[in-house]
Chains A and B, each alone.
Chain A
Amino acid sequence: MSGLFLNMIKEEWRIHSTMFGSLNFALFPVLICAIGFMGTFLIPLIQNTLTLTDLVILIHANYLMLGLMVGAFGLLGNEVMNRRFGQASLLAYSARTLPLTPRYIFLTFVLKDTLYYFFLWILPLGAGFFIASLVIGIDLMIPLRLLVTLTFSFLSGMSCIFFLSTVYERSARLLGIILVLSGLIGSFYTIYYGINPASLFPALLLFTTFNVKNLFLTLLTLIIPFIAALLLYSPDTRNTTKIYENKMKPLIHRLRFIPYPSLMVKDMLDLWRSGSIIGQVIFSFFVPLVVIWFFLSLLDEYISILQLLFTFAMITGIIASTMYTWITMFDSLSIYTVLPVDVPVVIKSKITLFSLLQVIPALFISGICLFAGEGAYLFPVLVLTLSVSFYVLAVMIWLTGLSPSVLVYSARVMVLYFLLIGLILAIFSSLTMINPWSGIGAVLLFIPAYEFIKLGFRRWDRVEQGIF
């Protein structure tokens, strides 16, 4: 395993460090460590508004979500590679050229992803917390325990997504049944026992009561879906030459009224034919958001349902903005550079398609709003969600142009991104706390959004799009 494993790690390092410079990339864990370190000093300050228990819940929820998103990104990303390059991706390629089973290579791939993110995200945060605990004099068992349970949180997310996505590969219907069943079980618990299912999350239980039984339980919930995923995994080795009907021509005709309709039609066909629209909506949007909703509602002893709803609206907006990555990930270098189109034209067509996709978060947040019994505030909630989504989209366009995946790997870009988002989150959570209707004011975010997009056009138009 070690040879293949090392090669995968090397390839990952090479891709990321050549894209963003090794220094910027190597600084990334340092940045996370610093956040953990400084965050620890804030704990006594915020204890009045947020108890330590709540903070622990939030951090675990964050890492669970990170696990879910990384799992979805890694797996779907890998799917994308497989589908986009046919049999040319590393995974499919090694399966054919090396004397190894596809399942074995898949296992190596998963291990690589896990280790990679462990060193990039989990260990640095734990280390920062640990160092700060030394300084402040917090019992050192707490940061150590947290490191263990956060790792488990993250792994639970990954293993859950691996399981669900391999099920999806086998049969979309089975996935539907599983999702509906777990929804029913969740609601059953909530209604009959009055227990929020999120409070039964093993990693969280393990943190509050650190004993062998809970450790065993946690490991079990990690390993079972993972093994099931491994057993279900079947690599796509079909060599298809399916015939497709020409959709470009009729769609261009129907979209005559927008400039360069063909650019948008291409992105629509990419999303649809790669199968990623359904996969992404389920794994990168729906599942993480539902999970975070249950975790947030654990906090409702301290914050009102309305406050919860507005916080959730902003989170939904942020997650919705990542749809920009769905429609940029299929582009490759030469598609645009051989044609007389410039970067702003391409970005504009992406924004148009992005706007269409916003139907999904709009429907979702409306559903949640009604579910929470706050239908009266549907309008401000909806405005807040969509405004945040477009604002974050604009920030992404300004920071990364047509390659939003840069975000995850460059310390400098990441800091700016978080600062710009944190700023408006702070403003609008305070405002909506005072008066829920101020959520409508979020529509003003379209002004900075417009400016960011304009800046982005100027910035990326004449830059060499090495990773276009």
Chain B
Amino acid sequence: MEYVIITHNLTKFYGNLIAVNSVNLSVRKGSLFGLLGPNGSGKTTIIKMLTGQILPSSGKGDVLGIDVVSDPIKVRTLVGIIPEQETPPSFLTVMEYLDFVAEIRKIPEIEKKAAWWFNYLDFEDKKHVLCKDLSRGTRQKLMLTQAFIHEPELALIDEPLINFDPIMQAKVKEFFVSYVQKNNTLFLSTHLLETAEEICSDIAILHKGDLLYSGSMSKILEENRHLSEFFLSLVRR
């Protein structure tokens, strides 16, 4: 089995608070992986460590075979990232921001690729509007676009559907499912169990920094009626 993310006793302290406690995760290539947990359980902290935005207090994380502590830039070159707080540069227009990303990531034919996304997520009319004047939903569309525009084999996405309306949510979920079918991997964090149950192939459950469970979704659904049942039985224990 080929893994795209492997962590070994990954740990993060904020002062005395242990935000992530000795977590061992392995994410299969081609999976749609959901990192689940209530607010404050450490999901964002794990994504930040795996993308080199913050340093682990101890332990180790390998992403696409690269140690993220020693070469975070290489990791960020290869993956796509959507952070929890999406704030594209305020005074650039949507298209300028994509040009900005393209120049740094060395993406050819950005116009053509951007046009596909404008059409797919239906925000062509916002192409020349400043990011600060966008609604939260449109900002999220733009962040989704910047994360996938270089067609990364792995994307890490923090709370992906939060600002979308139901129609857009359905569309994005459909995109995620088709994206992993092309042998790419998606690593999502979410506290929305229904979403995870609907689309994820593998999940991990995090609670107060501890990893309580990691395995395939189908196995859980064999033994439980719903993911929420299983989740609550773990977290309440």
Contacts and interface: CB of A to CB of B under 8 A. Distances in A.
Interface stretch (B25-33, B91-99, B164-172, B204-212): B91-99
Contact of B133 (A241, A247, A260): A241
B183 interface: no
Given A261-B103, A266-B100, A464-B53, A341 B73 contact: yes
A337 B104 contact: no
B51 interface: yes
A351 to B, nearest CB: 18
A334 interface: yes
Nearest to B88: A335
A242 interface: yes
B82 A338 contact: yes
Contact of A248 (B81, B82, B100, B105): B100
Contact of A246 (B53, B83, B96, B146): B96
A334 B83 contact: yes
Contact of A338 (B83, B90, B91): B83
Given A84-B90, A85-B90, A260-B104, A269 B76 contact: no
Contacts of B129: 241-244
Contact of B96 (A247, A274, A333, A334): A247
A249 B96 CA distance: 7
B91 A262 contact: no
A274 B146 CA distance: 24
Interface in B92-133: 92-93, 95-96, 99-101, 103-105, 128-130, 132-133
Interface residues of A, number: 40
A342 B90 CA distance: 21
A83 B53 contact: no
B95 A246 contact: yes
B83 A333 contact: yes
Contacts of B89: 266, 270, 330, 332, 335
A382 B54 CA distance: 42
Nearest to B103: A262
A340 interface: yes
Interface string A321-342: 0000000001011110111111
Interface string A293-326: 0000000000000000000000000000000000
Contacts of A84: 90-91, 132
Most chain-B Cβ atoms within 10 A of its Cβ — which of A263, A334, A462?
A334
Contacts of B91: 83-84, 269-270, 272-274, 330
B220 interface: no
Interface string B43-65: 00000000101110000000000
B87 interface: yes
B196 interface: no
Most chain-A Cβ atoms within 10 A of its Cβ — which of B82, B105, B128, B146?
B128
A102 to B, nearest CB: 19
A243 B96 CA distance: 12
Contacts of B101: 339
Most chain-B Cβ atoms within 10 A of its Cβ — which of A244, A249, A266, A464?
A244
Given A84-B90, A266-B89, A252 B53 contact: no
A211 interface: no
Nearest to A334: B83
A85 B81 CA distance: 22
Contacts of A462: 55
A245 B53 CA distance: 33
A247 B72 CA distance: 30
A464 B90 contact: no
Contacts of B92: 248, 266, 269
B233 interface: no
A261 to B, nearest CB: 7
Nearest to B75: A340
18 contacts: A85-B90, A85-B132, A86-B90, A241-B133, A246-B93, A246-B95, A246-B96, A247-B96, A260-B103, A261-B103, A263-B104, A273-B91, A330-B89, A333-B85, A340-B77, A340-B105, A342-B73, A464-B55
Interface of A: 83-86, 240-249, 252, 260-263, 265-266, 269-270, 272-274, 330, 332-335, 337-342, 462, 464-465
Interface of B: 51, 53-55, 72-74, 76-77, 81-83, 85-93, 95-96, 99-101, 103-105, 128-130, 132-133, 146-147
Closest 3 CB pairs of A and B: A248-B96, A262-B103, A340-B77
Given A246-B93, A246-B128, A248-B99, 15 more contacts: A86-B90, A86-B132, A241-B133, A244-B129, A249-B99, A262-B99, A270-B90, A274-B90, A330-B91, A333-B85, A334-B86, A334-B87, A338-B81, A340-B74, A342-B73
